Amino acid sequence: MHIRSHIIISAIVGFALYPRQPKQMLIVTAAGTLVDLDHLVLYALRSGDWSIVGALRYDRYRHGYVHQGDNRPRYGSLRSWLHQPMVTLPLLWSITRQWPQLRPLAYGISLHLLLDHLHTLIYILLVLPKSAYGTLKRR
Ligand SMILES: [Zn+2]
């Protein structure tokens, strides 16, 4: 998901959750957006290029069509453990049990992961049952 979408949706959810608490609203928005900094750090570590312009250029190249003979380097998945919901969410929400003041952070990060993995969730909930049903029906 694009960073712009993360900012807008996180701000809307932050405002909905904390309409009279601007600090908490900003934390939800920041957390819901800044999780993607791991892409930047991993790109910089792997490529040696610490410029934001270089990272944005690589991001555009990475999502574009690869022409035959294009031998520019590719750096694999640029997702850290922060983008792994099965690791991050239990850890995060167990921390908020001890420190409830961190809930806006947890809401923002959870929202970010939900938005990033929405297509997988839709596939699991909507497409997979139908395909499994189709497989069973054919037997
Ligand atoms: Zn992300």
How far apart are alpha carbons 119 and 123 in whole angstroms? 6
**Tokens encoding 15:** 């405002």
Which tens digit of pLDDT belongs to each residue from 28-76? 999 999 999 999 999 999 999 999 999 988 888 887 777 788 878 888 8
Which tens digit of pLDDT belongs to each residue from 3-30? 899 999 999 999 999 999 999 999 999 9
Ligand 1 centroid to residue 77 C-alpha, Å: 12
Ligand 1 centroid to residue 36 C-alpha, Å: 5
Alpha carbon dihedral 120, 123, 124, 128, in 10-degree steps, equals -150
User: What is the pTM assigned to this prediction?
Assistant: 0.80
Per-residue pLDDT, 135? 65
Torsion sign over Cα 75, 31, 1, 3: negative
Ligand 1 centroid to residue 128 C-alpha, Å: 24
How far apart are alpha carbons 134 and 8 in whole angstroms? 38
Which tens digit of pLDDT belongs to each residue from 113-136? 999 998 888 888 888 887 766 666
Ligand 1 centroid to residue 112 C-alpha, Å: 6
